[in-house]
Amino acid sequence: MNETRKTANYKITAGKNGNLYGFFCGLSKALVCESAEVKGASSEEELCIAWEGYGRKHFNKCRKCGIWVADAMYNPDMLNCVRCSPIEDYPDYCPGCGAKTREPSYFCHICGSKLFYGGEMSDEKAECD
Ligand SMILES: [Zn+2]
Ligand SMILES: [Zn+2]
C-alpha cells in the first residue's frame, strides 16, 4: 500500500481528562512517543493536537512510500525510510553533530550518533559485483 498517511500509526489510550496517543514507527513498529492527555472537539482534532504537539517532531515521512518512521529508520540523504533506501554508503558527515566522519564505524566518534543503518533491517544485503 502506498497510501499517504497524515500521521504515524497510533493507538489511543483513554486517560482521566482526555486521550493519550501513542505513535509508532511505521517500520520498526516501536512506540516512539506518547502524548500527554489531549482533548479535542472531534477525534480528528484530537489526533491533530496530539500529532502536532507531541508526535510529529519524532518522525520523518518517507517520500517514497509515505509512512512515518523514527529517526533511526530514516535515510536523511534520500528522504526515504531505510526500507525504500537502505543506507549502504557510509556517510561523509555525522547526521547528529555534522562532524566529518573518519573510518567506518557504526557510531560517530564525536557525539555517538548512529551513522550506519545498512544491514540492520534484515540479513539480506544488496550484493554489488
Ligand atoms: Zn519508504
Ligand atoms: Zn556526531
122 has pLDDT over 60 = no
Cell of 1: 500500500
- Residue 92: the pLDDT is 74
Rounded Cα distance between 67 and 56, Å, is 12
- Residue 10: the pLDDT is 97
- Residue 2: the pLDDT is 39
- Residue 1: the pLDDT is 41
- 3-state SS string for 3-72: CCCCCCEEEEEECCCCEEEEEECCCCCCEEEECCCECCCCHHHHHHHHHHHHHHHHEEECCCCCCEEEHH
CB 81 within 8 A of CB 63: no
Percent of the chain with pLDDT strictly greater than 90 = 57
CB 105 within 8 A of CB 115: yes
pTM higher than 0.85: no
Q: pLDDT for 22-79, tens place per residue?
A: 999 999 999 999 999 999 999 999 999 999 999 999 999 999 999 999 998 999 989 9
* Domain boundaries of the chain, sorted by first residue: 9-61, 86-129
Ligand number with the minimum distance to the CA of 115 = 2
- Residue 71: the pLDDT is 92
Q: Which residues surround ligand 1, an ion (CB under 5 A)?
A: 62, 64-65, 81, 84
Give distance in angstroms: CA of 111 to centre of ligand 2.
Answer: 4
